[in-house]
Amino acid sequence: MELLKRVFAYSRVYWKRLVIAALASIGVGAMDGAFAWMVEPLLKKIFAEQQLFILSLLPIGIIILFLFRGICRFLNDYFMKTAGQLAVQKIRNDVYEKSMGLSMGFFNKQSTGVLMSRILNDVNAMQDGIANIITGFFRDGFSALSLLGVIFFRNWQLALISFLVIPATVYPAQIIGKKIKRLSKQGQEKMGDISSVLQETFSGIKVVKAFALEDREVTRFTECNRQFYGFMKKSIKYDALTAPIMEGITAFGVAGVVWYGGYTVISGKMTSAEFFSFITAMALVYSPVRKLINSYNILQRSMGAAERVFEVIDQVPLIVDPPQPVSIGRAAGLVRYDNVSFAYDDEKVISGVTIDAKNGEIIALVGPSGGGKTTLVSLLTRFYDVTAGAILVDGIDIRNLAVKDLLRQIALVDQETILFNDTIANNIRYGNFNGTDEEVVAAATAAFAHEFICELPDGYETNIGDRGVRLSGGQRQRLCIARAILKDAPILILDEATSALDTESEQMVQGALNNLMKNRTTFVIAHRLSTIHHADKIVVLESGSVVQQGTHEELIATGGLYGKLHSMQFKS
């Protein structure tokens, strides 16, 4: 019930639509009740009293009745389902907004495909449930109530006989509903696995093709699809069992009514017209009752999906703003790692690191793979929070800053060039959406990108495709640098920004990086030591600890790990 309350809380905002739909539902229910009620007097007047005038008006009355019922049904369906759609739209927005506010640690533990499945497939399943249960509750509920009123008014003894069996349907409905909910949740989880396979395969299609592993991926997808079918088959089985079980139970009530009703008519205690009116109402009332039970199954299916959706909404962000954040304006660029340690769960990655960076200095982070270099700069952006020590910007602990205020001080150029399926201008503006056309061109020029952009068919308005697939590696990297230049942040992080480029592209990108680093405090992660000889300070990391610090000349003179790495790269 708590889960159901949370779902319906989203619909409460659209109460005007719900009121219109509820009134229309009353109209539908009233027409059902009126139709059943009118059977007895009409039969008397037409057949017993031979009033042919009533018979001639009956077709017109039936047409008017059904037209009014049709209008009410349309209003009910339209306003109920649009209210449900708006509620689901809000849920989808909330899930996406909440996931955007979660820390990198959450995304490291979640498959992209599974997250996509929760926002798309699970919310769609909720949509079906909300629309169906709201519509069913109002329309079928009012129909059932109005028909029940007719039945009990006509003959309360027969009504009791016909509905003695109704409580007997509750238990099997609950058992079946719970099984459907469990199977639905498991099926949605398997659909997440299918989404993961699709996302991984399509994003890595070049590797799949290069290693001729299409058959392996097809087999993997087919197996996930087969497992999904297994859950859905069971869910369909239980859903299909509902109707025959309910009908089998209600058959006892119908049989009892026919026997007792026939006996009362024969004995003269009830007229045949009254009995037919009762049978009509009873036949009509079973239909909305069956629909309500079917709606219950759909509700259980949607609740399985809702649990997965609310698991994301209920996630507690690990990185949050302080209650009273310190305002920093534009930072001078002084950065200090003060005895910083960090661990992923129980795995210690950074241990007791202290680094001082003055305004405009270039700090190079080098060392063997897995030494903690990328983790160290990720702590500066608060992708993760330190587990011990502190990181200070202009003497202020970054945990005392609003996250957005902190990130305004930092520009990142990563080894993985992340571009979006949009125009070149908009990709550069990702650094500053308020940037003018002139500022975009200036940033591209400083990044040595203006020339190749002008050669493209639509210049800055050229759409570069998914992840910038229509550009070369060097071109993509220069756009990322232009984005960082446009952001104009006082602190810069370069994480292996030239590692995947050929010599010619690297020289051009290096020139762009030199323009970017001017007057900025820069942290450079590099495996090619030739690119960081000019750094003001080189920090050598091994197994998460600082083993050496100094300039290139100082570290070469002292030897150690840096000297070893340098000699390995330049032994020729």
Residue 338 confidence (pLDDT): 92
Question: 112-149: string of b/e by CB count within 10 Å (b at 16+)?
Answer: ebbbebbbebbbbbbbbbbbbbbbbbbbbbbbbbbbbb
Does residue 400 carry a pLDDT above 90? yes
Give which of 89, 83, 79, 77 is closest to 124, Cα–Cα: 89
Q: What is the pLDDT of residue 344?
A: 82
Report the DSSP beta bridge partners of residue 546: 541
Q: What confidence category does residue 118 fall into, taking pLDDT thresholds of 50, 70 and 90?
A: confident
User: pLDDT tens digits, residue range 437-458?
Assistant: 898 898 888 888 888 889 888 8
pLDDT tens readout for residues 486-509: 888 899 888 876 655 555 566 766
Domain spans, the chain: 2-191+230-313, 335-569
Q: Phi and psi of 74, rounded to 5°?
A: -60, -50
> pLDDT tens, 454-481?
988 888 898 887 767 778 777 888 888 8
Distance separating alpha carbons of residues 398 and 381, to the nearest angstrom: 9
Q: For the domain 335-569, what is the CATH code?
A: 3.40.50.300
**Structural contact between residues 463 and 423, judged by C-beta atoms closer than 8 angstroms:** yes
Q: How high is the pLDDT of residue 498?
A: 64
User: Does the pLDDT value for residue 392 go beyond 90?
Assistant: yes
Q: For residue 493, with 0-12 CB atoms within 10 Å meaning exposed, 13-18 middle and 19 or more buried, which class applies?
A: buried
Which residue is it, tokens 């019930």? 1
The CA distance from 368 to 27, in Å, is 75
Mean pLDDT, range 166-185, rounded to an integer? 72
Q: Does the pLDDT of residue 34 top 80, yes or no?
A: no
pLDDT at site 40 = 61
Helix H or strand E encompassing 263: helix 214-266
pLDDT at 184 over 90: no
Query: What integer pLDDT is reported at residue 339 of this predicted model?
Result: 93
Token reading at 303: 């609740």
The β-bridge relationship of strands 491-495 and 410-414 is parallel
Kindly state the average pLDDT of the residues 244-271.
Answer: 74
Whole-number average pLDDT of the chain: 80
Query: What's the helix, strand, coil split of the chain in %, to 5?
Result: 65, 10, 20
User: H or E stretch including 547?
Assistant: strand 545-550
Which strands, in side-by-side order, build the sheet including 335-344?
A: 347-357, 335-344, 388-393, 396-397
Nearest to 233 by CA among 181, 183, 174, 304: 183
Task: Report the alpha-carbon distance of residue 175 to residue 310 in Å, rounded.
Answer: 24
- Whether 324 and 492 have beta carbons less than 8 Å apart is answered as no
CATH topology identical between 2-191+230-313 and 335-569: no
How confident is the model at residue 504, as a pLDDT?
Answer: 58
Question: 167 pLDDT band (50/70/90 cuts)?
Answer: low
pLDDT over threshold 70, residue 110: yes
pLDDT in tens, 287-319: 777 777 777 777 777 777 788 888 888 888 888
The model's confidence at residue 94, banded by pLDDT at 50, 70 and 90, is confident
DSSP H helices, 101-213, are 104-109, 112-117, 123-135, 141-154, 156-163, 166-203, 205-210
Residue 44 vs residue 372, higher pLDDT: 372
Structure confidence at residue 393 (pLDDT): 92
C-alpha distance from residue 77 to each of 20, 35, 126 (Å)? 10, 21, 17
- Domain 2-191+230-313: assigned CATH number: 1.20.1560.10
Query: What is the mean predicted confidence (pLDDT) over 333-345?
Result: 89
Assigned token pair, 219: 């087999």
Look up residue 289 and give its two tokens. 């009752």
Looking at the whole model, is its pTM more than 0.75? no
* Residue 68 backbone phi and psi in degrees, to 5: -60, -40
For Cα atoms 196, 198, 199, give the angle at the middle one, nearest 5 degrees. 65
